[in-house]
Amino acid sequence: MRTPDLALGAIWYVAFIFSTTCHEAAHALLAQLGGDTTAAEGGQVSLNPIPHIQRSPFGMVVMPILSFVLWGWTMGWASAPFDPRWERDHPHRAARMALGGPAANFTIMLLAALAIRIGIAQGYFVMPDAISSYSSLVQSASGSGPTFATTALSILFVLNLLLGTFNLLPVPPLDGHSGIMLLMPERVALRYLDVVREGRYTLLGLIVAWYVYGYIFEFVFGLGLHLIYPGNRLG
């Protein structure tokens, strides 16, 4: 693997660790605010990635590195623990906890988009003629090729767009399947939990989510680009 590939992989990995840590810390914080201290007692109400890595070492270390080597971008997972009894006692609070993770990702995505637009307005960045990869959503105005800033902001934007929207899909074990309980009366939410908390739906949900998301991400990505370049078409 060449040095530029290693540098790109390092940026992808750091962006993944940061984004995933923010996602899980948001879950843990909203659970704590809602009365469940399970994740807080495990140290996960924190932007320190260590407690999150210790809970999910394969999903936060092995899989992101392996996926970059195989496909050129990072994927992985983590989780924040919660008390199932608290979820049943307070399904709406649990739904807000679930939506906290994607909300954190969308916040990072919007901040990355804002930084790119400010960079363009100040003359540091320019819009590319075409997007050749997810790490090149914006170019340096100097024309000297990719820089750390253009690469990192591009990756932070697309990675958090992916994490936020993918996790909103309403299938277990993704956050969206708990988040939709906000739309239900609590008695209906309890019956819903009885069904979705059966373990056999977890693998099926992931397969369905990955299959469906493959069809919608191009559309989602196109909408996301309009946040950076309103009124312009890029491909």
- For residue range 3-13, list pLDDT tens digits in order: 468 899 999 99
pLDDT at 1: 45
Q: Locate all alpha helices (DSSP H) within 49-199, ordered by sequence.
A: 49-55, 57, 63-71, 84-89, 91-121, 148-167, 175-179, 186-196
- Closest C-alpha among 196, 156, 138, 146 to residue 172: 196
Q: Does residue 123 have a pLDDT over 50?
A: yes
Q: How many CB atoms lie within 10 A of CB 67?
A: 16
- For residue range 68-104, list pLDDT tens digits in order: 988 888 889 999 999 999 999 999 999 999 999 999 9
pLDDT at 179: 96
Token pair of 55 as six digits: 């809970």
What mean pLDDT is predicted for residues 143-160? 93
Token pair of 133 as six digits: 């990869």
Q: Do 179 and 99 contact (CB within 8 A), yes or no?
A: yes
For the chain, give the percent of residues with pLDDT over 90: 74
